[in-house]
Amino acid sequence: MQVGHCGVECLRANRMPHRFCGGLEEGEYQGEVRCLPEQLPIAGQSLDLLALPHLLEFSAQPHQVLREAERVLRPEGRLLIAGFNPLSLWGLRRTLNRHATDWPWRGHFIHLTRLKDWLALLGFDLVGGRMACYAPPLARAAWIERFAFLEAAGDRWWALGGGVYLLHAVKRVHGMRLIAPKWEGQWLPRPNWVSSTRNSLNKHG
C-alpha cells in the first residue's frame, strides 16, 4: 500500500500481486482508498509493504502516522519513507521561505536522526537508505542542467546533504523471524520517487 501522492505510482515496479494507494487527494490523483494517514481503515498486521512518499512532513501528527504504519504492517513488514532533508539546500530554502504556503515549502521537514529515533521506538530496524536531490531546488530546466553535476558528486562529497532521504525499515517482533516471500527483492525506493519530487517542484513553482 502507498499512502499519499497517488498521482505517482511509487510501487509500480514492485512485483507484489496487490497494490493500491490511499489518501485525501481528489480528481485525477485520487487513490483507491480515501483515508486519513493517521487513521488507516486497514486491519492490524495485514500489510507486507507500506510506502509513505513525502507524507510525514505534511502531517500534523507524523508520529501517529508511524504508529499506524506499525499497526497495519505484519511482522517483518517493509516500510518505505521519502522525506525532505532540513540539512540541505532544500532545507535552507524552506528556512528562508518559512511562511510559504506552496508545496513543498509549507511542510515541516523532519531531521533524519529524529525519524530514526521514532522508528527505533516503534520497533523498526533501518535496513537501507540513500540520499538524493543534491542540486538546488530550481524549477527552470536550464538551471537544473547546470547543476546536474552535483547529483553525481553528492554521494561522494556531501553524503548527508541530499535534499531528499529515502529509508527502508523492517518491523521487528521479538522472538519472530519470518521466511522472506518469493517476491522480495530490491526494496530501496525506485528512481521515480526522486523524479516525482522534481516534477512536483516544477508543477508548483
Q: What is the percent of the chain where pLDDT is above 70?
A: 72
Q: What is the pLDDT at residue 200?
A: 54
C-alpha cell at 150: 552535483
The DSSP secondary-structure symbol of 28 reads: G
pLDDT number for residue 137: 84
User: Where do the H-state alpha helices sit in the chain?
Assistant: 62-72, 89-96, 112-121, 141-146, 149-157, 191-204
Entry pTM: 0.79
pLDDT in tens, 42-92: 899 999 999 999 999 999 999 999 999 999 999 999 999 999 999 998 999
What per-residue confidence (pLDDT) applies to 182? 47
Number of domains in the chain: 1
**Residue range of the domain that includes 143:** 2-204
Mean pLDDT of 111-138: 92
List C-alpha distances in Å: 160 to 28, 80, 103, 119, 129. 35, 18, 23, 19, 11
How high is the pLDDT of residue 192?
52
Q: Are 69 and 56 in contact (CB under 8 A)?
A: no
Query: Grid coordinates in use for 144?
Result: 537544473
**How crowded is residue 138: how many other Cβ atoms within 10 Å of its Cβ?**
17
Q: Domain holding 160: CATH number? A: 3.40.50.150
